[in-house]
Amino acid sequence: MDEAQWLNSEAFEYFRYLRDDYATQLAIVFVGGQGCSTVLRKEPILASRIFTWQKFSRPTPEEVLEATRCSTRCGRTRNPTTSSSPTRTPPTAASTTGPD
């Protein structure tokens, strides 16, 4: 749940209800900006059910670039005409030059 710092008590009660229902086997991740952990800790019934409190810091521009490079290389082959996906077609001269 993104922007968890803006949730109200009613929303937290609903999440607690979902989490406590064994039929759901639900895991909820609360993510938020400044003040998120303060808001979550104000709801003791919910806060007592949080397994792990983890704080993440903003990545540096270099870390973002490296993660982007790693994610875009994932699954690529050296030969662009070879594809591991049956739906992907190799690039052709017509498709790489763009519209006339």
Task: For the chain, give every domain's residue range.
Answer: 1-69
Question: Which among 33, 40, 41 is positioned nearest to 57, based on CA atoms?
Answer: 33
Rg (CA), the chain: 22
pLDDT of residue 44 exceeding 50, the answer is yes
pLDDT for 62 = 92
pTM of the model: 0.51
Place of tokens 């104000």: 42
pLDDT in tens, 47-98: 888 888 888 888 899 998 888 887 776 655 555 555 454 455 444 444 444 4
d(CA 92, CA 72): 21
CB burial readout 62-93, b (16+ within 10 A) else e: eeeeeeeeeeeeeeeeeeeeeeeeeeeeeeee
